[in-house]
Chain A
Amino acid sequence: LAKTTQPISMDSYEGQEVNITCSHNNIATNDYITWYQQFPSQGPRFIIQGYKTKVTNEVASLFIPADRKSSTLSLPRVSLSDTAVYYCLAKAAGNKLTFGGGTRVLVKP
């Protein structure tokens, strides 16, 4: 089963860039890595997904090295509303989805 680990928490300030790294071993060779954002009392919300190298959308970038044993979510110029828990998700063989433990990001003014 894929094991995904990520830091428990990170603090940042408004306008800074936040980078969260997730380690995932035993990831399926043809699987994507996905990141979700979760606010209290809400379901997780999709942020970004990638397979290799770099993916960028309107809210984040995702960096995946060639060995795909880790991935880094980059949130540019965070604001107070980005305070949330961020989860990485990977899939192992047999379609078994595994979330990381979540990284609680606190953005301070």
Chain B
Amino acid sequence: DSGVTQTPKHLITATGQRVTLRCSPRSGDLSVYWYQQSLDQGLQFLIQYYNGEERAKGNILERFSAQQFPDLHSELNLSSLELGDSALYFCASSVDGQAHTEAFFGQGTRLTVV
């Protein structure tokens, strides 16, 4: 158990809908990362937050947004869902936002868009 909790574990929804994925980082970790893993694109970095502030942005679509709350949990919002958004979404956390800090991954949320 990495200590990172993601909910829900599975989510099935229809095209055009909006969903929210939740991540609780390890106790004491200030940084949260979101990744998307699909069969054809592999692991893609979406966005990173550090202590409530956006730190880095990767290949995140405009239809997607995220935030980190004062209690350090984070949410990833996916809207106007398309079939191609079906993927595993991972959250990871680290104690700080530096390059040499080990990140711990959650078990992921499997999103299926039908």
Whether A28 contacts B92 by the Cβ 8 Å rule is no
- Select A95's contact among B55, B92, B108, beta carbons within 8 Å: B55
Whether B104 contacts A46 by the Cβ 8 Å rule is yes
Whether A31 contacts B108 by the Cβ 8 Å rule is no
Residues of A within 8 A of B105 (CB): 36, 43-45
Given known A-B contacts A32-B99, A51-B100, A44 and B45 have beta carbons under 8 A apart: no
Total interface residues on B, CB under 8 Å, equals: 25
- Select B43's contact among A31, A51, A102, beta carbons within 8 Å: A102
Let me know if B103 is at the binding interface, CB within 8 A: yes
Of all chain A residues, the one with the shortest Cβ separation from B104 is A46
Tell me the minimal C-beta distance from A103 to chain B in angstroms.
Answer: 11
Whether B103 contacts A102 by the Cβ 8 Å rule is no
Given known A-B contacts A44-B43, A87-B43, A99-B43, A94 and B106 have beta carbons under 8 A apart: no
Given known A-B contacts A96-B56, A97-B48, A31 and B99 have beta carbons under 8 A apart: yes
Residues of A within 8 A of B48 (CB): 95, 97
Whether B103 contacts A46 by the Cβ 8 Å rule is yes
Considering the chains assembled together, what is the distance between the CA atoms of A17 and B48 in angstroms? 35
**Residues of chain B from 51 to 72 with CB closer than 8 A to chain A in the complex:** 55-58
Tell me the minimal C-beta distance from A48 to chain B in angstroms.
Answer: 10
Let me know if A7 is at the binding interface, CB within 8 A: no
Given known A-B contacts A42-B107, A43-B107, A98 and B45 have beta carbons under 8 A apart: yes
Residues of B within 8 A of A101 (CB): 42
Whether B104 contacts A91 by the Cβ 8 Å rule is no
Total interface residues on A, CB under 8 Å, equals: 25
Tell me the minimal C-beta distance from B20 to chain A in angstroms.
Answer: 19
Considering the chains assembled together, what is the distance between the CA atoms of A95 and B44 in angstroms? 14
Of all chain A residues, the one with the shortest Cβ separation from B105 is A43
Considering the chains assembled together, what is the distance between the CA atoms of A102 and B41 in angstroms? 11
**Residues of chain A from 71 to 105 with CB closer than 8 A to chain B in the complex:** 87, 91, 94-102
List 21 contacting pairs A-B, 8 Å CB cutoff, sorted by A.
A30-B99, A31-B99, A34-B102, A36-B105, A42-B107, A43-B4, A43-B108, A44-B43, A44-B92, A45-B105, A49-B100, A49-B102, A51-B100, A87-B43, A96-B57, A97-B48, A97-B58, A99-B42, A99-B43, A101-B42, A102-B43
